[in-house]
Structure 1
Amino acid sequence: MDASIFFVIVGAVAVAAVARWRGWPAPLLVTVVALAASFIPIVPNIVIDGHVLLNLVLPPLLYSAALDVSFVSFARAMPQIRRLGVGLVVATTMIVGLVAYLLLPELGVFGALLLGAIVAPPDAVSAAAIGRKLGLPRRIMTVLSGESLINDATSLTLYRVFAAAVVVGPTAFHIWSTVGQFVLAVVVGVLIGVVFGLGMHQLRMRSDDAVINGTVGLLAPFGAYAIAEQLGGSGVISVVAMGLFVGFNAPRTSYTTRQQEAPLWLSADFLLESFVFAYIGLQLPRVIGDLADGEVGPVIVLSIVVLLVVLVVRPLFVYPASVWGQWWTRLKLRRWQRRRESGVSEAIAERRGRHPLTEEQLRQQLAETKLSWRDNAVISWAGMRGVVTLATALAAADLARIGDQASHAIVVVAFVVTVGTLLLQGLTLPWLIKALGVVDGREAAQDARQLAAVRVRSREVGKAYLRDMRKQWATQHGEESLKTFDAFAKRLIRVETDAETSQIDLTPRPSYEQFMTMSKGWLSVRRQLLLTERDAGNLSEEVMHELVTAMDAEELALDTRAATRPQSRV
């Protein structure tokens, strides 16, 4: 590795660490410091091939982001995610392409559309990193994270199509061929991602070696991405599908895998995000310096106009799309009601061997995540660009037949849009959230209700488990030992206060093996209840993960006690 890259990484990590310590948004501070440092003569000028940057940085960042996304919330918000991740990217590409061609005809039609595809997708890194720091509600974060996970696939598909048209000529472009490429990219990407996800899940279920599981987890995103791309699919979709599958099934694996995986990916994300945002800031003066004297004015004007277009197109799309989504939901519900009145719905359900859906069940299936105009305002202003825009712009500069002026213009515009959205939107987003009052107590109150309800059900399930264990205990140790069992069972369900439980006479005391068996069984049935409640839609995935993390800590304490006192008795 070039020594200059090492020093950039070290500097970026140091700045990001200061930002975390002070409670500031690390991506913004790293970008600003790198931008300022780029004007210092002794700062190294590093250049990384766009394809290398895309292949090395994007897979792990996408995979890590997908692991943290609630699959249930993602599926429910899919209509909104699909509109933003596909529809908005296509709309932005076309509008930016038209504007770019009118302002700089030297780009050519497909060169202008190529530029549009490059600047169209908001970045997964930016959305997740800044959104987490700002404490955005989950309903907004799910849409933003979901959009940024799939819009890269749309953008990269359009990029490939328009890049081929630039190199080969207009005959390479056909609208139906573009649609076919996108469908193929999605289908192949999903299939490869699910295959890798199944493989990862089976490994994690059968192996308790957290080191092996973590190492394979670090390598798998690169494999899924590369194989999908090689087969004509979307590496982005493949990695996202794999991450969603593994993340959804993570609570079924051993607690040691989960406990090692979390800090591992936090560190990887921190390192990669710091480097990416530093690299973005360092490159802007260089790419502007590559412009010839006569190119500076027109390209700077084009960059500012495209930045404004990107900022304006998003809210102009978000609000009508939200209204259309609600109207479409009501239309489907009215159609179902007419079919029900005519008996068609019942006949179809009977042929399929299912019970007809009730109106409430259908509403739950059709209902999108409800977003207010304030929520949509935040979504409209959270369109920061990042690593995909940066990498594809650098890759486009190497295309044959595009010309020096066009390639320089594309790179400069991409960097201006990336840095401009990061600084302009990133710096003002906290003010906007505070002014609109988006962060409220609704989610906290809902979480508290779910938590109270699941604790009641957890105690019921735990008591049922203890009743079964009590019968086994009586069979194995005799009726006279049930006093000991009952006393220990009370400790598990915490009927008494701590002061009272500490004075319970466990005579005769259970062996340590009996203590471990009962305690781990108690944790297992409660953990299984959480999965059941999540799958039934009674418990949000975020609350479930918090409870699973607490149970993992309990199990770690049990195993630590077993390792340090193997011969002890309770």
Structure 2
Amino acid sequence: METTHALWLLAVPVTALVVAAGARRAGLSAPLVLVIAGLAVSFVPGVPEFELDPEIALYVFLPPLLFAAAWKSSFVGLRENAWSIGFLSVGLVLFTTFTVGYAAYLLVPGLPLPAAFVLGAIVAPPDAVAAVSIAQRLGLPRRTVTILVGESLFNDATALTAFRVALIAATGAGFTLLDGVWRFLFAAAVGAAVGLLLGPPLHWLRTRLNDPLVENGVAVVTPFAAYLIAESVHASGVIAVVVSGLYLGHRATESAAVTRLIGHSFWKVMVFVLETVVFLLIGLQLPPVIDGLSGRSAPELAWWALAIFTVTVVARFVWVFPASYVPRLLSKRQREREDPGWRGRTIASWAGMRGVVSLAAAFAIPFTTSADEPFPGRDLILFLTFTTVLGTLLVQGLTFPALIRALGVGGGRERYADTVAEAGAQHAAARAALERLDELDAEQELDAEVVERLRQLAEHRQLRAWERLGGGTGPAGEEVPTAMYRRLRREMLAAERRVFVQMRDERRIDDEVLTRVMHELDLEEAALNRE
């Protein structure tokens, strides 16, 4: 029986990876396809119930996903858009909590107001994973993507704090408004302090270990340490993870090149696996959610689900449009930046897909209050959370690409400007490299052939970004020199690999030798593909 259970547990990540691979090959949004697949699998007879354990979601899945997102986020970009991100990650979450909570209180007979606010806090934080993956694929303007990422990094902290405050009120453990404000400020401030206290010493340690594997091992442990330390003092583990991730990611350029290569690959795989499993689990939650709804009529449940979903979506529109003007009124720098207009605000308003944090919080609701009475409406809150998460992922997620195309909001000009800026930077960097080479050549007696090879390499790097502006072809469609260089070098690398493999098969070299030389060839090919 235990073996069968273990096989079913193994089936979850295997199925998630297979579905995600098919979605990526078909050019579809993997998170949305995974949710649909999980929903479909949940109806298959014989498939056991996979009830999402809130502790696993919040302590195992959430920290590394948040840390990886913070690590690769632009600290400068987040700082420049701090006002907009703050209005969404704090203001919008609290507004949604009260709006959805009060709507549920009015709609559902017998649902106490504190329990309704628990529901509001649960569905308040959007998860930008699906939205950002679509936005980046379709070339949404960078500022919009930065704001959405920044919102998703910090809104979980606001929502989980609001959830805990509402839960205290709903369970009758004693609560005042002043106590709620204090808890929120304490959680945010101490969580940020934990992240800041961990960041510098861990960065100092990473830069002095001189061991890429251990350095990346420190980075892997960091999000779990930050989350647990902050939560142990009743602060926000989310903010602690995000702040430490932002700090270490911003200072990652000071690490060794091999450390960055290994870390980049590791986090890319880690995030891919975790996200695929999470979105499949969202779809698989239908059976445990339905189990507790016996005795309630289907039309009534459908009406409540539709109403809460609609209020959740509309609340974001109601907040985003007026609130997006406030930063421009308060900051001269914001007024000097390009106004996204109604199209940009519409895109930001529609990018409100919910995710696993909402479901984890819902499953974390206790079964009884402090008076040992059943928690009011727990099963219904769980159901309404599931339908809202599912509705936003499918309705908004499936229509998001079409909306972006229909409104004509794209970042094509930004991509061209990026290439021009990169070309200019490559030109300046290559000039600095050549000047340094000339200085060394004047100071020392260097081999002329070596100097010439280095000079050609620098000139090649100087030209490649400019040639990329032409898409790798010249005026008449002919292949430009750097594109020809990459193509020919790839063919040469493939020939080298065949020789090494053949020599290994003939036992003329050991597998350890093959692994080492293949790694060197792979690094060179990765650099060619980057170009």
Task: Give TM-score scaled by structure 1 length.
Answer: 0.76
- Alignment pair present for 1:72 and 2:76: yes
Alignment deviations for residues 534-565 of structure 1 (CA, whole Å, 9 cap, x no partner): xxxxxxxxxxxxxxxxxxxxxx969989xxxx
Query: Would you say the 8 A contact 1:126–1:385 is kept in 2?
Result: no
Among candidates 247, 250, 253, match of residue 252 of structure 2: 250
Task: Identify the match of residue 456 of structure 2 among 491, 499, 507.
Answer: 491
The CA distance in 2 between the partners of 1:11 and 1:198, in whole Å, is: 40
State the partner residue of 1:372.
341
Map of 1:549 onto structure 2: none
Matching of residues 346-385 of structure 1 within 5 Å: 363=333, 370-385=339-354
Give 1:199 shift: 3.2
Partner of 1:453: 424
- State the match for 1:154 in structure 2: 158
The alignment's C-alpha RMSD in Å is 2.6
- Partner deviation per Cα, 1:431-453 (whole Å, 9 max, x = no partner): 00111111142211221231232
Letter in 1 for 2:355: G
Conservation of the 8 A alpha-carbon contact between 1:97 and 1:112 = yes
Residues 311 and 402 from structure 1, CA distance in 2 versus in 1: closer, same or farther, beyond 3 angstroms?
farther
Given candidates 319, 322, 331, the residue that maps to 1:320 is 322
Is 2:353 aligned against 1:389? Answer: no
Mapping of residues 390-409 of structure 1, within 5 Å = 390-400=359-369, 403=374, 406-409=377-380
- CA distance, structure 1, for counterparts of residue 262 and residue 338 of structure 2: 33
Task: Tell me the amino acid that sits aligned with residue 119 of structure 1.
Answer: V
Question: Using a 3 Å threshold, how does the CA distance of structure 1 residues 482 and 28 change in structure 2: closer, same or farther?
Answer: closer
1:172 matched to 2:175? The reply is yes
Is there any run of 5+ residues in structure 1 with no aligned partner, and where?
Answer: 334-362, 499-555, 562-570
CA gap of 1:323–1:216, structure 2 versus 1, over 3 A, is same
2:92 is aligned with 1:92: no
| Alpha-carbon separation, structure 2, partners of 1:113 and 1:164 | 11
* CA distances 1:26-81 after superposition (whole Å, capped 9, x unpaired): 11111111111111111111223223321111001111111121111111111110
Query: Aligned with 1:468: secondary structure?
Result: helix
Q: For 1:136, which of 125, 135, 140 is the aligned residue?
A: 140
- Given the superposition, is the C-alpha separation of residues 468 and 180 from structure 1 closer, same or farther in structure 2, using an over 3 Å criterion? farther
1:192 aligns with 2:199: no
1:334-372 deviations in whole A, cap 9, x for unaligned? xxxxxxxxxxxxxxxxxxxxxxxxxxxxx48x7567423
Moved more, 194-203 or 308-317: 194-203
**Secondary structure of the equivalent of 2:110?**
helix
Q: What residue in structure 1 maps to residue 485 of structure 2?
A: none
Indicate if the aligned counterparts of 1:397 and 1:408 stay in contact, CA closer than 8 A. Answer: no
Aligned partner (choices 430, 435, 458) of residue 464 of structure 1: 435
Please name the residue that 1:275 is paired with.
277
2:427–2:462 contact (8 Å) kept in structure 1: no
CA 1:376–1:463: 2 relative to 1, 3 Å: same
Provide the C-alpha distance between the structure 2 equivalents of 1:368 and 1:495, rounded to a whole number of angstroms.
36
Distance 2:283 2:69 in 1: 23
What TM-score results when the alignment is normalised by the length of structure 2? 0.81
Which residue identity is paired with 2:36?
A: V
> What per-residue deviation string (whole Å, max 9, x for no partner) do you get for residues 174-193 of structure 1?
2x322222221122111211
The answer as to whether partners of 2:85 and 2:147 remain within 8 angstroms in 1 is: yes
Partners of 1:70 and 1:557 lie apart in 2 by: 30
1:283-334 residue CA offsets vs partner (Å, 9 max, x unmatched): 12431232122365444322211100011111111110112222222xxx5x
SS in 1 for 2:424: helix
**Is the 1:127–1:145 contact (alpha carbons within 8 Å) kept by the matching residues of 2?**
no
Closer, same or farther: CA 123–319 of 1 in aligned 2, 3 Å: same
What is the DSSP-based 3-state SS (H/G/I as helix, E as strand, rest coil) of the residue aligned with 1:428?
Answer: helix
Greater displacement, 46-55 / 291-300: 291-300
1:239, CA displacement in angstroms?
Answer: 0.7
Give the letter aligned to residue 490 of structure 1: R
Amino acid at match of 2:423: A
Look up the equivalent residue of 1:140 and give its one-letter code: T
Mapped to 2, the partners of 1:33 and 1:52 lie a distance apart of 22
1:149 is aligned with what amino acid? L
| Structure 1 residue aligned with 2:405 | 434
Distance 1:164 1:369 in 2: 43
Letter in 2 for 1:193: G
| Counterpart position of 1:4 | 8
CA contact (8 A) 1:284 1:416 kept: no
TM-fit CA distance, 1:397 = 4.7
- Number of residues of Structure 1 aligned to a counterpart in Structure 2: 463
Structure 2 residue matching 1:426: 3-state secondary structure:
helix
- Distance (Å, rounded) in 1 between the aligned partners of 2:443 and 2:521: 22
* Partners of 1:239 and 1:73 in 2: CA distance: 18
Contact (CA 8 Å) 2:128, 2:353: kept in 1 or not? no
Q: Contact 1:80/1:325 (CA < 8 Å) preserved in 2? A: yes
Residues 108-162 of structure 1: CA deviation (Å, up to 9, x unaligned): 1110111100000001433444444444332111011100110000001101111
For 1:31, give the aligned amino acid: V
Letter in 2 for 1:97: G
* Partner Cα distance (1:558, 1:461) in 2: 27
User: What amino acid maps onto 2:459 in structure 1?
Assistant: R
Question: In the aligned structure 1, how far is the partner of 2:427 from the partner of 2:403?
Answer: 39
Q: Which residue of 1 aligns with 2:303?
A: 301
Counterpart contact for 2:70–2:242, Cα < 8 Å: yes
Residues 52 and 494 (structure 1 numbering): CA distance in 2 closer, same or farther, change over 3 Å? closer
Contact (CA 8 Å) 1:85, 1:151: kept in 2 or not? Answer: yes
After superposition, the Cα gap between the structure-2 partners of 1:281 and 1:397, relative to the gap in structure 1 and judged at 3 Å, is farther
1:485 positional shift: 7.1
Letter in structure 2 aligned against 1:487? E
Distance in 1, Cα, partners of 2:451 & 2:11:
62
Question: Residues of 2 paired with 1:194 and 1:126: CA distance?
Answer: 29
Structure 1 contact 118–414 (Cα < 8 Å) conserved: yes
CA shift for structure 1 position 416: 0.3
In the TM superposition, residue 459 of structure 1 has moved relative to its aligned partner by 3.0
Task: Judge conservation of contact 1:470–1:485 (CA < 8 Å) in 2.
Answer: no
- Report the Cα distance in structure 1 between the residues aligned to 2:306 and 2:454, rounded to whole angstroms: 69
Q: Which structure 2 segments of 5+ residues have no match?
A: 464-518, 525-531
Change (3 A) 1:299 1:368: farther
Q: Structure 2: how far apart are the matches of 1:15 and 1:402? A: 43
Q: Which moved more, 1:270-279 or 1:90-99?
A: 270-279
**Offset at 1:491?**
2.9
CA displacement 1:506-544 (0-9 Å, x = unmatched): xxxxxxxxxxxxxxxxxxxxxxxxxxxxxxxxxxxxxxx
Moved more, 277-286 or 414-423: 277-286
Distance in structure 2 (CA, Å) of the matches to 1:399 and 1:369: 51
User: Residue 293 and residue 121 in structure 1: after superposition, are their counterparts in 2 closer, same or farther (change >3 A)?
Assistant: same
Give the SS at the match of 1:241.
Answer: helix
1:43 partner SS: coil
Deviates more, 1:442-451 or 1:128-137: 128-137
